Amino acid sequence: MVVTGDVRCAALSQSCGEPQAGTAPTAAGWICLEQPGAWGREALTGSRLDPRLGVELQRRAGAVGARVLLIRRPGRHADDRRGTSPVRRAYLAAGTPGGSWLERVDLVAPEQLLELDFAALGGARPTGLGRPVSGPLLLVCTHGRRDACCALRGRPAIAGLAAAHPEAVWECSHTSGHRFAPTGVLLPTGYHYARLDPVFGEHLLRRAAEGRVVVERCRGRSAYLPVDQVAELAVRERTGETRDVLTAAGGYVRHVDGRVWRVRCLRRDLPPARPASCGAAPSVPVVLVVVEVQRLAGVARGRQGGRR
pLDDT tens across 130-176, in order?
899 999 999 998 876 766 777 777 688 888 888 899 999 999 988 88
Neighbouring CB atoms inside 10 A of 103's CB total 20
Contact status, residue 299 vs residue 259, Cβ threshold 8 Å: yes
Q: What is the pLDDT of residues 35-48, one digit of tens each?
A: 998 888 888 898 98
Query: What's the mean pLDDT in 6-32?
Result: 83
The rounded percent of the chain whose pLDDT value lies above 90 is 61
Tell me which amino acid residue 35 is.
Q
Element (H, E) at 154: helix 148-164
Q: Which of 2-16, 193-207, 284-298 has the lowest mean pLDDT?
A: 2-16
Give SS3 for 234: helix
> Is 2's pLDDT higher than 60?
no
Give the list of residues 6+ apart from residue 308 with CB closer than 8 angstroms, or none. Answer: 212, 242
Pairwise CA distance, residues 138 & 186, whole Å: 5
Whole-model pTM? Answer: 0.89
Q: Where do the domains of the chain lie?
A: 16-224
DSSP 243: B
Query: What's the mean pLDDT in 200-225?
Result: 96
Q: Which of 195, 179, 136 is nearest to 287 (CA)?
A: 179
Q: Tell me the CATH number of domain 16-224, given options 3.30.450.20, 3.40.50.300, 1.10.150.120, 3.40.30.10.
A: 3.40.30.10
> Is 229's pLDDT higher than 80?
yes
- Residue 299: the pLDDT is 60
